[in-house]
Amino acid sequence: MDLSIALNQCLSGLTRAGILFMLASGLTLIFGVARVINFAHGSLYMLAVYLSYTFLRLFGPGGVGFWLSLGAVAASLALIGGALETGLIRRVYGRDPLQQLLLTFALVYIIGDVVKFVWGITPKSVSRPPFLEGGIPVPGGSFPVYNVFVIALAAAVGAGLWLMLARSRLGWLIRAVAADIEITDALGVNVPRLLTLVFMLGGLLVGVGGAAAAPLTAGALGMDVEIVILCFIVVIIGGAGSLLGAAVAALLVGLLESFGILLLPQFAVVFIYALMAGVMIVRPWGLFGVPGRS
């Protein structure tokens, strides 16, 4: 294989991994803390992509518009995540996991149709912000600056999230709830408010990820059910609830996808599902997960 092609595939794999990480980190956090498998996470991503289309039209396509839109999308998704938790998901905590799955599955249908109703069936694409146009010369061609930006953004988000969880009071509380919700509750922590905050954080992450992904992918109906499976794969391979796991698994999936296309274009999709099935057979709790949970 040509070295320049390998480098190019590596960078696009990293870009993909960056997006996947931003989505999966929210999903894994929600699962680790609230023990809810959120099928609607992909729908939130779709909402984020479509919302960035709308906000970019509102704020204009310039650099300022890009940042404003990114912030607006992230804030909207955080609010939507919090609203879903307080309005619906909160009612099924502690119930049969089946009920929770069904609830979020119902949301997939509903949000999908809301998007169709609001934005119509024609795909919506947005352009890259002007200050991130162009390419960086790499051996044998050039690599889009925007992709580098996405990789850096994902790394920054990951680092920020880790710092927050490891160092801040909120992070301690979140980890305490993840470890033992009853004891934390008994210690006088406002657990319901914390769970809402976790869903808001998940929404925030998916909002940033979706806004960052928007210039790379057109908003199209059906993207929700495709991406959510990939997010599940990342969460499961990495180990549900593990942030480090999500990062490593996102890298694995992103790179496997881009190199799989290069080596065996026919079966690139199949590789990823096979990897997931393989990991689940050997280590059902994932690479960085804790056995015996859930």
Partner 1 sequence: MNGSASRCRRAWWLLAAVLAALPLAAPGFHLRLATEIAIMALFAMGFNLLLGYGGMLSFGHAGYYAVGAYTVAILTRKAGLPFASAFLAAPAATALVAWVTGFFCVRLRGYYFSILTLAFGQLIWGVIFKWTALTNGDDGIVGIEAPALLASPAGAYYFTLLLTGACVALLWMIVQSPFGRTLLAIRENTERTQFIGVNVNRLRLCAFVLSATFAGVAGALFAPFDGSVFPSFAFWTRSGDVVMMAILGGMHSFLGPALGAAIMLFLDHTITAYTEYWPFVLGTVLLCLVLFSPAGVTGLARTVAARRRAADRPA
Which residues of the chain form contacts with partner 1 (CB under 8 A)?
A: 37, 88, 91-92, 95-99, 101-103, 105-110, 112-114, 116-117, 225, 229, 232-233, 236, 240, 266-267, 269-270, 273-274, 276-277, 280-281, 284-285, 294
Least Å from the CB of residue 247 to partner 1: 20
CB of 3 or CB of 266, closer to partner 1? 266
CB of 245 to partner 1, least distance (A): 14
**CB of residue 36 vs partner 1: minimum separation in angstroms?**
10
* CB 106 to partner 1: min, Å: 4
- Is residue 16 within 8 Å of 257, Cβ to Cβ? yes
Task: For partner 1, give the closer residue by CB, 26 or 129.
Answer: 26
- Cα distance between residue 249 and residue 285, in whole Å: 13
Which of these, 274, 211, 231, lies nearest to 31 by C-alpha position? 231
The alpha-carbon radius of gyration of the chain (Å, integer) is 19
CB of 90 to partner 1, least distance (A): 11
Residue (156 or 269) nearer to partner 1, CB: 269
Task: Please identify which residue in the block is written with the tokens 């307080």.
Answer: 86
Helices and strands, number each (H, E), in the chain: 11, 2
Pinpoint the alpha helices (H) of 91-238: 97-119, 145-167, 169-179, 181-186, 191-213, 223-238
Contact, 235 vs 249, CB < 8 A? yes
Nearer to partner 1, 75 or 92 (CB): 92
* CA 225/CA 43 separation, integer angstroms: 7
Q: Per this entry, what is the length of the chain? A: 294
